[in-house]
Amino acid sequence: MRLGLVYSTLALIILVAALITVKPMLKTPTEANLVNPTTTQQVISINDIKETLMLINSTLGNLTKAKLASIIGFINASRTAYSNGQAPPLNTNELSTLINLASSSHLAIPYNVPLINTSMIGELILNSTGVQGLLGHSAGLLLAAQYMTTALGNSTLSQLISKLASSSSAMNTTLTINLTSGSAAVGSTITAYGRLTLPNGTGLEGQLILVTVNGRVIASAVTNSTGFYTVNITLPYIYVNETSVKALFIPVNKGLAGSTAEATVRLLFNETRLVIHVNGTVVKWGDYLLIWGNVTGGDRAVTVRVGGLSLNATSINGRFNLTIPTSVLRPSNITLLIYVKPNLTYSPAERALNITVVGVRPSIRLSGTVLLAGLTSTIRISIEPSVKGNLTLLVNLGPLDRTVVANSPTVTIPIRLPLTLGMGFTTLNVTVTPNPPIEGVAATVRVLVVNLAQLAILAALAPAALVAVRLTRGVRHRAPVTQTPVAVTVEAVVKSLRQPIPSARLGDPRVKAILDSLTKAITAVGAATGIAFGGGLTLREYLALVSGRLTDGEVVKGLNGLIALAEEALYSPRLPTDSDVDAALSYLAMVIRR
Q: What is the pLDDT of residues 464-523, one digit of tens each?
A: 444 444 444 433 333 333 344 455 555 555 555 544 566 666 778 888 888 888 888 888
What element of type H or E holds 35?
none
Q: Summarize pLDDT for 117-173 with one digit per residue, the tens.
A: 323 333 323 222 222 222 333 222 233 333 333 333 334 444 444 444 444 567 899
The amino acid that residue 264 corresponds to is: T
| Dihedral Cα 265, 266, 270, 272, nearest 10 deg | 100
- Beta-strand relationship, 178-179 and 174-175: unpaired
How many helices (DSSP H) and strands (DSSP E) are in the chain? Answer: 13, 28
What pTM did the predictor assign? 0.48
- Residue 203 is predicted with a pLDDT of 94
Give one DSSP letter per residue of 176-212, joined into a string.
--EES-SEEETT-EEEEEEEEE-TTSPBPPS-EEEEE
Give the phi and the psi of residue 516 in degrees, each rounded to 5: -65, -45
Per-residue pLDDT, 346: 94
User: DSSP secondary structure string, 490-527?
Assistant: HHHHHHHHHTTS-TTGGGSHHHHHHHHHHHHHHHHHHH
pLDDT of residue 278: 93
Between the alpha carbon of residue 577 and those of residues 330, 348, 581, 589, the distances in Å are 42, 67, 7, 19
Spatial separation of the C-alpha atoms in residues 549 and 544, rounded to whole Å: 10
Q: 242 - beta bridge partners?
A: 266
Please count the other Cβ atoms lying within 10 Å of the Cβ belonging to residue 24. 12
Q: State how far the Cα of 108 lies from the Cα of 91, in Å rounded to an integer.
A: 22
* Angle made by CA atoms 560, 563, 567, in degrees to the nearest 5: 140
Go through the domains of the chain in sequence order and give each one's CATH number: 1-155 (no CATH), 274-358 (2.60.40.10), 363-453 (2.60.40.730), 455-591 (no CATH)
3-state secondary structure of 410: strand
Print burial letters for 419-434: b (CB count within 10 Å at least 16), e (below 16): eebebbbbebebbbeb
Amino acid letter for position 525: V
CA-CA distance, 265 to 213, in Å (whole number)?
A: 9
Predicted confidence (pLDDT) at residue 291 exceeds the cutoff of 90? yes
Q: How many of the other CB atoms lie within 10 Å of CB of 98?
A: 25
pLDDT in tens, 405-455: 888 888 888 888 887 777 778 888 888 888 888 888 888 888 888 876 665
Which phi-psi region, left, alpha or beta, contains residue 31 (left: φ > 0; alpha: ψ -120 to 50)?
Answer: alpha
Q: In angstroms, what is the C-alpha Rg of the chain?
A: 47
pLDDT > 90: percent of the chain: 25
